[in-house]
Structure formats: structure tokens, C-alpha cells
């Protein structure tokens, strides 16, 4: 009788130990699942940060000329854990910032550092930027140039958008259907983001003859090649992105401004094939 009871007790202990072991394993598995879920969630929510870098080059003013250049440009940081080549993206950003002088950052710096040695060379340039959009997929901004060397000031703006994961510039032909963009222009579904003259109002931009000129200019520019090596700030393919608009740059000279430019914002909800 006692032998039978001992067997039952041992059997119960084994069952209990097995249940405890299974329970512990189950808790550990659940804990691991929760841990990796939280970790993945944190990685997905992790956003890149932008720091401002400044390139400055100048010399003391001589009797006739000044030479002073300041270029502000963004650089991404805090990309640890994200599947991106942050150095590639930062290189593209520098190429775009220095495209006033050459198509790449390296060529531009070499040119400037040679030029500053020439006592007859002059420059008074400030380049800055406005950030339009930043997430883990895209960075989009508009660069502004303000140049003054004693005569009339020269001001210009141009957009740039970079696919962070792919490490390449985005053009409007990558983002939306060309015909839909043209349709938006022809029907006046756009806003003026920037242009040569501040007094050029939204009402002016939506006059029938001006819309016609915008559309014609766009069709002329749409066949222009993309930037290739480095960055071409005059390429009509350059775009800017924000939450609401696709911003398109193109030169505009017919009847409104001589050697001018405009950046028009087309509502993204008007573009059915938006990527």
C-alpha cells in the first residue's frame, strides 16, 4: 500500500515539475516575443536627425574685391539600426548644396579654394536651406542662394529630394505620372511656392495666359535629362516634397521674367499615381 502511494507521489512530483518547466519555458518565449516586438517597434519609430554643417571660405577685403562664401547644408545622423547608407545620402546632400559652383562637392571645393587665391576674384554668397520633409524614407529640402558683390543681389532657390533607402535623387518622373502633372498645371491645380519676383501673386499665376505659358514651359523641360553625376540645380526634374505638395522647379522666361524660375506646388491628392 505504501509502495503504491510512494509511486503516486513520485508521479505527481514529476507531473508538477514538468508543468513548472513548461510554464517557465512559455513565460520565456512570451517575454522574448514581447522584447523583439518592442525592439522592432522602436526601430520602426526611430527617426533620423539633421545637423547643420557650415562651409566657410573667405579672405580679407582688398581695395576692390571681397571674397566671402558661406554654405549651410544638412547632414543626417542617428542612423544606427536603420538599413541605409548614411554616408551616401550625406554625399548627395553636399553635392546638391555645392551645385552652384560645380556638379559635385569635391569639384566645387577644389574650384573655390583655387579661386580664393586670385586677388581679382570676388564673391559674396550665402547658401541656406529649408527642410520640407524628413522621415526614414525621404529627405526633401529647398536650397536658397543669396549673392551680392556690390551690384544687384542675385537670389535663387531649387529643390532636392533623396530616397534615403536607395541613396539616390528622386525626380518627378519617379514620383508621379507626367501627364497628370501637366493636367494639374493646365487646370490651375497648383500654388506658387517661390519665384523670381515676390510680387508675382497667386492670382497672377492662375491667369489663363500664364497657365498656358507654365504648361508650355513644362512640356519643353520634361524631356531634359536628369542630373547624371552630381547634381544639376537647373534640371526641371528636381522636386520637393512635403505633406501636401509635390514642388516642381523649372525656369520660366516667357513674358514674366528674364532668366527667372518658379517652384510650383501641386497637391499630391491630385496625382492619382503618386508613388
Let me know whether 55 and 157 are in one domain.
yes
| Residues 76 and 90 reside in one and the same domain | yes
Ramachandran bin of 232, using left for φ above 0, alpha for ψ from -120 to 50, beta for the remaining angles: beta
- Which neighbouring-strand residues pair with 143? 129, 158
Range of the domain at 249: 171-274
* 3-state DSSP assignment of residue 196: coil
Looking at the structure, tell me whether residues 123 and 153 fall in a common domain: yes
Same-domain pairing of 103 and 218: no
Provide the percentage of residues in the chain whose pLDDT is more than 70.
70
Which of 142, 170, 198 marks a domain boundary? 170
* 137 in Cβ contact with 163 (< 8 Å): yes
Q: What is the pLDDT of residue 48?
A: 85
Q: pTM value?
A: 0.76
| Chosen domain end from 45, 63, 78 | 45
Residues sharing a CB contact under 8 Å with residue 193, sequence separation 6 or more, in sequence order: 142, 240, 245, 247, 263, 264, 265
pLDDT digits (tens, 9 = 90+) for 130-171: 999 999 999 999 999 988 766 666 788 899 999 999 999 998
Q: Which of 227, 50, 248, 246 is nearest to 136 (CA)?
A: 50
Q: What is the pLDDT of residue 119?
A: 82
CATH of the domain at 113: 3.30.565.40
Most confident among 1-5, 113-117, 224-228, 260-264 (mean pLDDT): 113-117
Angstrom distances, CA of residue 72 to CA of 8, 52, 53, 184: 81, 7, 6, 34
Cα-based angle 82, 74, 262 (whole degrees, multiple of 5): 115
Residues 73 and 33 occupy one common structural domain: no
How many domains does one find in the chain?
A: 3
90 and 124 assigned to the same domain: yes
Residues 208 and 143 in one domain: no
How far from the centroid of its chain's Cα atoms is residue 29's Cα? 41
Query: Quick count: other Cβ atoms within 10 Å of Cβ 228?
Result: 9
Is there a single domain that holds both residue 97 and residue 160? Answer: yes
Q: Tell me the mean pLDDT in the region 36-60.
A: 72
Shared domain check, 161 and 56:
yes
Angle (nearest 5°) at CA 88 between 84 and 92: 125
Indicate whether 39 pLDDT > 50. no
Average pLDDT of the chain? 79
Note whether 99 and 232 are within 8 A (CB).
yes
- Per-residue model confidence as pLDDT tens digits over 95-130: 999 999 998 999 999 999 999 888 888 888 999 999
CB 76 within 8 A of CB 139: yes
pLDDT band at 38 (very low <50, low <70, confident <90, very high): very low
| 256 has pLDDT over 50 | no
Q: Are 148 and 159 in contact (CB under 8 A)?
A: no
Amino acid at each position: 500500500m505504501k509502495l503504491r502511494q510512494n509511486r503516486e507521489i513520485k508521479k505527481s512530483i514529476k507531473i508538477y515539475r514538468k508543468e513548472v518547466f513548461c510554464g517557465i519555458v512559455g513565460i520565456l518565449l512570451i517575454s522574448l516575443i514581447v522584447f523583439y516586438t518592442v525592439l522592432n517597434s522602436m526601430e520602426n519609430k526611430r527617426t533620423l536627425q539633421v545637423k547643420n554643417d557650415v562651409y566657410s571660405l573667405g579672405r580679407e577685403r582688398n581695395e576692390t574685391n571681397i571674397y566671402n562664401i558661406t554654405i549651410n547644408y544638412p547632414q543626417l545622423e542617428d542612423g544606427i539600426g536603420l538599413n541605409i547608407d548614411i554616408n551616401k545620402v550625406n554625399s548627395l546632400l553636399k553635392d546638391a548644396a555645392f551645385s552652384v559652383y560645380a556638379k559635385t562637392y569635391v569639384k566645387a571645393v577644389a574650384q573655390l579654394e583655387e579661386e580664393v587665391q586670385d586677388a581679382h576674384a570676388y564673391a559674396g554668397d550665402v547658401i541656406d536651406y529649408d527642410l520640407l520633409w524628413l522621415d526614414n524614407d525621404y529627405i526633401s529640402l529647398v536650397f536658397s542662394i543669396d549673392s551680392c558683390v556690390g551690384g544687384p543681389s542675385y537670389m535663387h532657390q531649387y529643390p532636392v529630394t533623396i530616397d534615403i533607402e536607395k541613396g539616390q535623387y528622386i525626380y518627378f518622373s519617379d514620383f508621379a505620372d507626367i501627364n497628370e502633372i501637366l493636367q494639374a498645371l493646365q487646370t490651375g491645380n497648383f500654388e506658387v511656392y517661390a519665384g523670381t519676383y515676390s510680387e508675382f501673386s497667386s492670382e497672377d499665376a492662375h491667369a489663363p495666359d500664364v497657365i498656358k505659358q507654365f504648361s508650355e514651359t513644362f512640356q519643353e523641360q520634361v524631356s531634359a535629362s536628369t542630373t547624371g553625376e552630381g547634381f544639376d540645380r537647373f534640371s526641371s526634374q528636381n522636386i520637393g516634397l512635403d505633406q501636401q505638395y509635390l514642388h516642381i522647379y523649372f525656369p520660366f522666361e516667357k513674358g514674366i521674367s528674364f532668366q527667372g524660375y518658379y517652384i510650383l506646388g501641386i497637391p499630391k491628392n491630385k496625382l492619382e499615381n503618386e508613388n
